[in-house]
Amino acid sequence: MKIVPRSKVIYSFSSQHKPVEHIKSGELVLLETEDALGGQIKNEESSLDVLDWSKVDGATGPIFIEGAARGDTLVVEILDIKIEEKGLIVTVPKHGILGEKRFKPSTKMISTNDGYVHFDEGVRVRANPMIGTIGVAPESGEIASGSLGRHGGNMDVKMLTSGTKLHLPVFVEGALFAAGDMHAVQADGELCVSSVEVAGEALLRFSVIKNRKPEWPILETHGCFAILACGNTLDEAATFAAETAVKAFMREYDWSFERAYMFGSLAVDLEINQVVDPKKGIRAAISKEFISLENMLT
Ligand code: CA
């Protein structure tokens, strides 16, 4: 097993970054990650004013996956996630879905031991550690690790947890994978712009599907696939996600657009990933009963 330490951090996804590790298909990788604030906030008295924003939203990597080339699919299996026992959540004026309201910058330290996130006296939420930022080098240019796109990135999908697979399109040789920004738990939407931000480690395994790739990242659980699309608005993201699902049905069943569009109303759940990042994210979830991975790749 190879260990990639959290000191190997990037702040953008780009083909120009030099890989910090080379790994083979099937090899286990333990990826250590810092919290999304770069580990800079240690207590509730720390002022966000002193935050070095250039060290926020980092991702550990990039990792070169041998055999991955442009036009392929990188399959990432999230085998396990371990998180540290202390996390934090912040409010930042002008950020989050209610960013136009008047409120103060604030920090809350949160204990995440014993399988629960202890939010307040008598108020706890079962922990469900997940990976907020996960992706590969994009088609062109450089995309900040705090943003998201067809390459993945800061998608903040609560289902990217232990036991989930992620299928990412590969744009450059080796894919140049990186991940970070774990949350001890997050609900759909991530309303206040942060969730329970925490350092941790993810046990990952990679493989490659040659010469076929998804249009958007696709997550896979035991029971469903979900297309992870994003856009400048939720409406735009929903349109991209729905269109990708309808095209997959046309391939799966050899249906006309009209027939596949109709079936979308029966079989596609449009769910919100987050409403607070530079682009908004929607997932189109489809039961495995109705679609195969093969027909979600082109
Ligand atoms: Ca995030």
Q: What is the mean pLDDT of residues 86-111?
A: 95
Q: What is the mean pLDDT of residues 277-288?
A: 98
Residues 123, 186 within the same domain: yes
Angle of the 257-267 helix axis to the 234-253 helix axis, nearest 10: 120
156 C-alpha to center of ligand 1: Å? 5
Measured distance CA(281)–CA(6) in Å, rounded: 26
Residues 173, 151 within the same domain: yes
Domain range spanning residue 268? 218-296
Q: What is the mean pLDDT of residues 117-135?
A: 97
Residues 191, 269 within the same domain: no
58 C-alpha to center of ligand 1: Å? 10
Residues 194, 226 within the same domain: no
219 C-alpha to center of ligand 1: Å? 17
Which residues does 9 contact at the CB level (< 8 Å), separation at least 6? 34, 58, 59, 60, 180
Residues 105, 21 within the same domain: yes
Residues 228, 202 within the same domain: no
Measure Cα distances from 183 to 19, 29, 105, 129, 209 in Å.
25, 20, 20, 6, 29
- The predicted pLDDT at position 17 comes to 98
193 C-alpha to center of ligand 1: Å? 8
Q: What is the mean pLDDT of residues 228-253?
A: 98
Return the structure tokens found at 65. Answer: 């996956």
- The predicted pLDDT at position 263 comes to 98
13 C-alpha to center of ligand 1: Å? 15
Residue 124 reports pLDDT greater than 80 = yes
Measured distance CA(265)–CA(270) in Å, rounded: 10
Measured distance CA(124)–CA(221) in Å, rounded: 26
Residue carrying the six token digits 């996630």:
81
Residues 57, 119 within the same domain: yes
Structural domains counted in the chain: 2
Residue 42 reports pLDDT greater than 90 = no
Find the CATH number of the domain harbouring 245: 3.10.28.20
Q: Which of 209, 239, 257 is the last residue of a domain?
A: 209
Q: What proportion of the chain, given as a percentage, has pLDDT over 70?
A: 100
Residues 254, 111 within the same domain: no
Q: What is the mean pLDDT of residues 160-164?
A: 98
- The predicted pLDDT at position 49 comes to 78
pLDDT band at 16 (very low <50, low <70, confident <90, very high): very high
256 C-alpha to center of ligand 1: Å? 38
Residues 121, 256 within the same domain: no
155 C-alpha to center of ligand 1: Å? 7
Q: What proportion of the chain, given as a percentage, has pLDDT over 90?
A: 96
Average pLDDT of every residue of the chain: 97
- The predicted pLDDT at position 46 comes to 79
137 C-alpha to center of ligand 1: Å? 18
103 C-alpha to center of ligand 1: Å? 21
Find the CATH number of the domain harbouring 180: 2.60.120.580
181 C-alpha to center of ligand 1: Å? 6
Q: Which of 163, 189, 209 is the last residue of a domain?
A: 209
Measure Cα distances from 189 to 157, 172, 186, 272, 280 in Å.
9, 31, 8, 6, 9
